[in-house]
Amino acid sequence: MGVRNWLSAAAVTVMITSGLAVMAPLASAATRLGGIDLGAYCQKTVNPGDGSVAYLVENHARGWPCVDSTWVGPPFGWATYRVRDMDLNHACSLQYGGGAYAVLEQNHARGWACYR
């Protein structure tokens, strides 16, 4: 086999091998774990035991804060409310364990899910 034929055979081998490498499937895919319990996240992370809730303030995917109330008491007699942003990746890891993270599947208020 001459040098020219050997180089042609080598080039074809490289192209075939490269093509197979490009066509190989991804090593792993994320697994959907389920939805996010936003209320449980708020109760665990914002003043636990203080009636913290997830509250939809704007009807879109990022419209959920945690709202907690703090009783001011007499002589004022009213409650003040504090609003805190949620860390949805943290919410997923609390609910499903380490390595879980949030994904916006659909762009609406209830479009979040957890994956690993």
| Mean pLDDT of successive 10-residue stretches along the chain, which has 116 residues | 39 32 50 94 79 84 82 57 86 96 91 95
How many domains in the chain? 1
Buried b (16+ CB within 10 A) or exposed e, 1-37: eeeeeeeeeeeeeeeeeeeeeeeeeeeeeeeebeebb
- pTM for this model (two decimals): 0.65
* 51 inside domain: yes
Position 3 in a domain: no
Cα(96)–Cα(114) distance, rounded to whole angstroms?
Answer: 8
| Residue 101 within a domain | yes
Residue 84 domain boundaries: 29-115
Is the residue at 7 inside a domain? no
The answer to whether position 21 is within a domain reads no
Residue 11 lies in a domain: no
CB atoms within 10 A of CB 88: 21
For residue 61, being part of any structural domain is answered with: yes
Predicted local confidence at residue 96, as pLDDT: 98
